[in-house]
Amino acid sequence: MQELLNVILPVFLVIGFGYFAVFKGYFTENHVEGLMKYTQNFAIPCLLFNAISTLDLSQSFNWRLLASFYSGASLGFFAGLLGARYLFGRDWEESVAVGFVGLFSNSLMLGLPITERAFGSDALTANYAIIAVHSPFCYGLGITAMEIARAHSNGTSARALVPNVLRAMFRNALILGILLGFAVNLSGVTLPAPVTDAVGLMVKSALPAALFGLGGVLVQYRPEGDIKVIAYIVGVSLLLHPAVVWMMGQVFALDRGEFRSAVLTSSVAPGINSYVFANMYGKGRRVAASAVLIGTAICLFTVWVWLMILP
């Protein structure tokens, strides 16, 4: 429990700093908006580019591992989407944003350190395999669903849907960062030291800046009137997602190391990208911001339970 607290408490402190700064007027809402644009369009894409460009792609990517994890993630997305629509009466676009919260677990900032502290650095190979396709898969699914929802709302023809999805994908700085990372990795290009150092500086700022900005966002998007849908999607993220991964891991007979990594990565709180996605489309921002905060707090206890029952 103390090790989990050491991982999660700093996250809360940085969020708290952002909340306090905006609440006291030291940091305005316009400042927060600019900070979130910086993280969304520059810093986090650099983080994804750096991670993928330096990843050892020659390692084994077990399809059973990825199928186990992403079947749980996909079910979390559709449970969130359909629950928001039919249980809570949200429009389709906001329902997609809520579903994205159930899809995008914090595989990087919580999944990696928790797995390492629990089972050692040698246990991270499966985590890296999951992370390598996490953003492409989640953003691909989320953007496609959002464009379908928008087409339904706007009466856009099915013929225009594919170009709209492709345009949204290739205008997304996060997707571009991922694609550039794969391009550098697969081509074997060695970037000049000043470039890699500059990217490294951006990477160091990405998560702290995003968390600080999230704290400022929470001042504006308090969970008033959204408690039920927030509780629902946090439950989907922390309980349904890992339960499905556990079941699928058994079905696919994952080895013990892969099974542990998949279940732990699926059991952590929704990631900051849940809010980034909601902010991109201006839908479900209050639900996404609050779910990240509340889910991070609750996963201190739920992850502890998963750790106790893992083999």
- Tell me what pLDDT residue 174 has: 79
Residue type, 132: A
The ranges assigned to domains in the chain are 2-309
CA–CA distance from 211 to each of 68, 218, 287, 296 (Å)? 29, 11, 16, 12
Contact 18, 216 (CB under 8 A): yes
Q: How far apart are the C-alpha atoms of 198 and 186, rounded to whole Å?
A: 21
**CB half-sphere exposure, 162, CA atoms < 13 A:** 1
CB neighbour class for 72 (10 Å; exposed up to 12, middle 13-18, buried from 19)? buried
Contact predicate 262/243, CB 8 Å: no
Q: Read off the pTM.
A: 0.82
Tens digits of residue pLDDT in 288-307? 989 998 998 898 888 888 88
Q: Can you tell me whether residue 289 is helix, strand or coil?
A: helix
Q: Residue 135: how many CA atoms within 13 Å on its side-chain side?
A: 27
CA gyration radius, the chain: 19
Q: Is CATH 3.40.30.10 the classification given to domain 2-309?
A: no
Token pair 């921002």: residue: 285
Which amino acid is it at 149?
A
pLDDT digits (tens, 9 = 90+) for 67-124: 999 999 999 999 999 999 999 999 999 999 999 999 999 887 788 878 887 888 777 8
Contact 223, 230 (CB under 8 A): yes
Per-residue model confidence (pLDDT) at position 199: 93
* Under 8 Å between Cβ of 8 and 296: yes
In the block, tokens 């580019």 appear at 49
- Residues in the chain, pLDDT under 70: 1-4, 7, 57-60, 155-161
- What is the tens place of the pLDDT at every residue in 223-233? 777 899 999 99
Q: Tokens 């460009």 appear where?
A: 53
Mean pLDDT of the chain: 87
Q: What is the pLDDT of residue 245?
A: 97
pLDDT given for residue 157 in this prediction: 62
- Name the nearest CA neighbour of 297 among 244, 223, 243, 247: 223
Give just the sign of the alpha carbon dihedral 249, 53, 97, 113. positive
Q: What's the confidence (pLDDT) of residue 260? A: 93
